[in-house]
Amino acid sequence: MKKLRILLVQPSYKDCVQTLFSIYNTEEGIGFKPPLGLLSIATTIRSRTPHDVVILDCQLDDVHVGNIHEHLSDEYDVVGISAWTDFWYQAAATAARVKELLPRSCVVLGGPHISCYPAESLDHPAVDAIIMGDGEMPMLRLLEVLAGHGASGAGLPAHGLYFDSEPRRSFVPYIHKSLDELPIPDRTLLPLNRYTSVIGVEKFSTTMVTSRGCPFACVYCKMEHQPFNMRSAGSVLDEFRQIKALGISEVEIYDDTFNFSHERTLAICKGLQELDLGIKWAMRDRVDRVDPHVLQALKKAGCVRIHLGIESGSDAVLKAIGKKINVEQARKAVAKAKAAGFEVLTYYMFGLPGESLAEAQKTIELSLELDSDYAEFSITIPYPGTKAYAGALEQGVISSDYWLAFAKTPTPQFVIPQVIENMMDRKTLLSLRDQAIRRFYFRPSYMLRELLKVKSWHEFKKKFQMALGLANVLRGIFIR
């Protein structure tokens, strides 16, 4: 077999989509998260093939299309680029630059944006192939083809990988149903000491994914492209062991709903108690899944923070967006988590479909009533692939399919022309977001409470950086 050299690229935030409401800041103090998708693909390549693979995480050193030539070598046979809609311009421009400098390399794109716009992505003149869905096995098939072993191999999927030279047909994403079959990501392929969390207490941290997809169908989320699959408790415990062996003692689990199966959660917690690794960790949960018995087990297992998606203070809005929770459940869940001694981070959104100004004000009041340790306030972005975007187009709330146009012709710093503004205009939405941040974070009682919790200079520095970032949002320094 021909030995291939592969470069996997996580594109830069530079020139990203201007959502008007998001913060993209490449200051290291804000915290970087490792690109787990590329890391899983790279680990799979290394464990199952003789090929060499390198990951370039452009966010760490502000690598972008203007200077990426400094990181390219003519030895790369394959360059894989992760594509998210927010960073589609940089991904597409990077592909073009790679093809210019390395014309013999195979340029392959994968990621959420590709699943939304496979044909448009494959039409890019610099793109040789795309991968839809889970990338590990389709990438192995691509490497078999390039190494001269034909288009199929034992155990490799016949879909998910598409070449620009092939006749166009239906695009079918590849979904890896048995996640335990995949190797645990080898974090030594990345510079471990460059990844941190702005709300964590340890100097270095990492993230973990123990399931893919989501069993729910909220209108603002495009996870319906990815069916829900969970790893076993044993696999998760093995990854915790490996993380501890690397000297990392803080983990944020990025699953949309880690606690969907109480049985699995309790098995993981039991194993962590027995291992006694001393790792602090955080996870995401739904307010209707919070259970005192499970909370007790989580606490004993080292979990210190729970993230809860509440989104709205209006039951009518929650019903309309398919969240399948209510405000009273949110109250009880936060109270239970706080009583059990957890830090709580709550998420809220403005500009959801059908939301009135009065309902948005209820969301602000609810955030103050619940008084979680942290709160994130955002304005709903109708991303491609979501029911919110499809519905807004169908109803004429959004007048043109601007995401399709952007997919076909990516431009730097693309400004989203419309969000869901039939009930409130964007000026009102921005005002609500700013009001929520100001009223939540700049309360004297909140600031005093956070200062009293600080136990080290490192922790104080992180909290100061977070406060500075919030102040900058209110001053309009970040993207508007």
pLDDT digits (tens, 9 = 90+) for 52-72: 999 999 989 889 999 999 999
Same domain, 117 and 231: no
End-to-end Cα distance, the chain: 51
Give me 257's structure tokens.
């709903």
Confidence of residue 217 (pLDDT cuts 50, 70, 90): confident
What's the average model confidence in pLDDT over 317-336?
97
388 in a structural domain? no
Is 224 part of any domain?
Answer: yes
Q: Are residues 462 and 356 in the same domain?
A: yes
The CA distance from 348 to 379, in Å, is 9
Instruction: Clarify whether residues 122 and 209 are in a common domain.
Output: no
Strand order in the sheet with 303-311: 206-208, 250-253, 280-285, 303-311, 343-350, 374-379
| Residue in 102, 107, 76 with CA at minimum distance from that of residue 4 | 76
pLDDT in tens, 396-451: 999 999 999 999 999 999 999 999 999 999 999 999 999 999 999 999 998 888 88
Buried b (16+ CB within 10 A) or exposed e, 151-182: eeeeebbebbbbebeeeeeebebbbbeebeeb
Summarised one tens digit per residue, pLDDT across range 97-133 is: 999 999 999 999 999 999 999 999 999 999 999 999 9
Q: Does some domain include residue 206?
A: yes
Whether residues 208 and 333 share a domain: the answer is: yes
- Note the pLDDT tens digit of each residue in 373-398: 999 999 999 999 999 999 999 999 99
Residue 83 inside a domain? The answer is: yes
- Does one domain contain both 202 and 137? no
The verdict on residue 55 lying in a domain is: yes
Which pair of tokens denotes residue 252? 């944020």
Same domain, residue pair 335 and 462: yes
Residue 203 has pLDDT above 70, yes or no: no
206 and 275 in a single domain? The answer is yes
Of 138, 163, 188, the residue that ends a domain is 163
Burial zone of 98 (CB within 10 Å; 0-12 exposed, 13-18 middle, 19+ buried) = buried
Three-state secondary structure string covering 300-345: HCCEEEEEEEEECCCHHHHHHCCCCCCHHHHHHHHHHHHHCCCEEE
My answer on whether 146 and 226 are in the same domain is: no
- The sign of the CA dihedral 333, 334, 338, 341 is positive
Say if residue 200's pLDDT is above 70.
no
In a domain, 189, yes or no: no
Q: Does the pLDDT value for residue 311 go beyond 90?
A: yes
Whether residue 75 is found in the same domain as residue 213: no
In order of 182, 305, 343, the CA distances from 372 in angstroms are 36, 11, 8
Per-residue CA distances from 303 to 198, 217, 253, 282, 296 (Å): 17, 27, 10, 6, 10
- Asked which of 144, 163, 182 is the last residue of a domain, the reply is 163
Q: Which residue range forms the structural domain that includes residue 279?
A: 196-381+419-475
User: Number of folded domains in the chain?
Assistant: 2
Residues 226, 113 share a domain: no
Q: Is the pLDDT of residue 214 over 80?
A: yes
Q: Which whole number is the average pLDDT over 202-217? A: 88
**Partners of 348 in beta bridges:** 311, 377
Phi and psi for 252 in degrees, rounded to 5? Answer: -115, 120
Q: Distance between CA 322 and CA 404 in Å, rounded?
A: 25
Residues 216, 89 share a domain: no
CA atoms within 13 A on the CB side of 127: 27
* Structural domain contains residue 115: yes
> Which among 88, 27, 104, 97 is positioned nearest to 65, based on CA atoms?
97
**Span 245-273, average pLDDT:** 95
Is the model's pLDDT at 476 over the cut of 60? no
Q: Which residue has the tokens 């093809």?
A: 99
CATH number of the domain where residue 75 is located: 3.40.50.280
151-174 residue pLDDT tens:
445 568 889 999 998 877 789 999
Q: Looking at the structure, do residues 246 and 145 belong to the same domain, yes or no? A: no
Tell me which amino acid residue 329 is: Q
Most confidently predicted of 12-16, 238-242, 473-477: 238-242
Q: Is residue 437 part of a domain?
A: yes
> Cβ neighbours of residue 291 under 8 Å, at least 6 residues apart?
262
- Beta strands 280-285 and 250-253 are parallel
CATH of the domain at 295: 3.20.20.70
